[in-house]
C-alpha cells in the first residue's frame, strides 16, 4: 500500500511511503480490539477507593439501649451498619483492575486498529515533524497546513521530542506519542493518525 508523504508546509513530497499490507491492510479483528482497549482502560484506573467496615469504625462499645421492652429491634453497637456513621457493608476496597492479554492478541489488535484507520483514509504520513522551540502557535500552524484543524489528531514520532510534547499539551485536539508506545486505544481515540516517515519502520519492526 502506497500513500502520499506530506511536508510540514502541507505540500506533497515527490516520493510516497510504502505501508506493509500485513500491518496496514490486515483483516480487522474486533474482539481483539475490544480486549486490548478494555485492558488499557482498566490499567488507567487507580483502584484506591476504600471504605470502613464495622471493625474499623472508631466509636463507643456501650450497648446503646436495653435489650427488651423498647418496641424496636435489639441493637448492641453504635457502629452497626444500620446506624448513621456506622460501618459500610461490603463496601469498596483498594484493588487492581488490570488483567492479562496475550502479546499476540495485542499485536492483532494494533494491526486491526491501524488497518481500520487505513481503510477509512484516516492515516497521514509526514516527512518529519521538527520544532526549533516549544511554541504552541507553531504546532497550530503545522496542523493548519496539513488541513487537520478541528480534527482530533495523534502525532506518532520515532523518538521522544520535548519541543513537540510541550507544544501539543495545551491543544485539546492534538496529542503526541512515540512509535514504540503506540497502542490500540490511542489509534482509535483519534480521527487522524499522523506518522513521521521514520516512525513507520519502527512500528513495522515491532508488529512484524
Q: Which CATH code for domain 2-46+102-207? A: 3.40.1370.10
Pairing relation of β-strands 2-6 and 12-18? antiparallel
What global pTM score does this model have?
0.84
Tell me if 153 sits within 8 A of 118, measured CB to CB: no
77: its cell numbers: 453497637
Which segments within 50-183 are labelled E, that is strand?
A: 123-126, 153-157, 174-178
Collapsed DSSP state (helix, strand, coil) of residue 61: coil
- For residue 192, the surrounding DSSP H or E stretch is strand 192-196
The pLDDT of residue 208 is: 83
pLDDT of 99 > 90? The answer is: yes
Percent of the chain exceeding pLDDT 70 equals 100
Average confidence (pLDDT) over 198-204: 92
pLDDT of 61 > 90? The answer is: no
Average confidence (pLDDT) over 6-28: 91
Pick from 164, 136, 183: which is nearest to 36 by CA?
Answer: 183
Give the mean pLDDT of the chain: 93
Q: What is the pLDDT of residues 29-48, one digit of tens each?
A: 999 999 999 999 999 999 99
Tell me if 139 sits within 8 A of 162, measured CB to CB: no
For CA atoms 131, 136, 137, 141, give the dihedral sign.
positive
pLDDT of 109 > 90? The answer is: yes
The pLDDT of residue 14 is: 86
Pick from 117, 101, 90, 132: which is nearest to 28 by CA?
Answer: 117
Average confidence (pLDDT) over 144-151: 92
Distance CA 119, CA 193 (A): 13
The pLDDT of residue 140 is: 94
Domain-wise residue ranges, the chain: 2-46+102-207, 51-91
Average confidence (pLDDT) over 168-176: 93
Burial of 163-172, coded b for 16+ CB within 10 Å and e otherwise, reads: bbbbbbeeee
Amino acid at each position: 500500500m502506497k500513500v502520499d508523504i506530506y511536508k510540514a508546509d502541507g505540500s506533497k513530497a515527490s516520493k510516497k511511503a510504502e505501508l506493509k499490507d500485513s500491518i496496514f491492510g490486515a483483516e480487522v479483528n474486533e474482539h481483539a480490539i475490544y480486549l486490548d482497549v478494555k485492558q488499557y482502560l482498566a490499567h488507567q484506573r487507580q483502584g484506591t477507593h476504600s471504605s470502613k467496615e464495622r471493625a474499623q469504625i472508631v466509636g463507643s462499645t456501650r450497648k446503646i439501649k436495653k435489650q427488651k421492652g423498647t418496641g424496636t429491634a435489639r441493637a448492641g453497637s453504635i457502629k452497626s451498619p444500620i446506624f448513621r456513621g456506622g460501618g459500610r457493608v461490603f463496601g469498596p476496597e483498594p484493588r487492581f483492575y488490570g488483567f492479562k492479554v496475550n502479546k499476540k492478541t495485542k499485536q492483532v489488535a494494533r494491526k486491526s486498529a491501524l488497518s481500520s484507520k487505513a481503510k477509512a483514509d484516516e492515516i497521514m504520513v509526514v516527512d518529519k515533524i521538527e520544532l526549533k522551540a516549544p511554541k504552541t502557535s507553531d504546532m497550530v500552524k503545522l496542523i493548519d497546513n496539513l488541513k487537520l484543524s478541528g480534527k482530533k489528531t495523534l502525532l506518532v514520532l520515532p523518538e521522544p521530542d520535548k519541543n513537540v510534547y510541550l507544544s501539543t499539551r495545551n491543544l485539546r485536539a492534538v496529542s503526541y506519542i512515540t512509535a514504540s508506545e503506540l497502542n490500540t486505544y490511542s489509534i482509535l481515540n483519534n480521527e487522524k493518525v499522523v506518522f513521521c516517515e521514520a516512525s513507520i519502520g519502527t512500528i513495522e519492526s515491532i508488529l512484524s
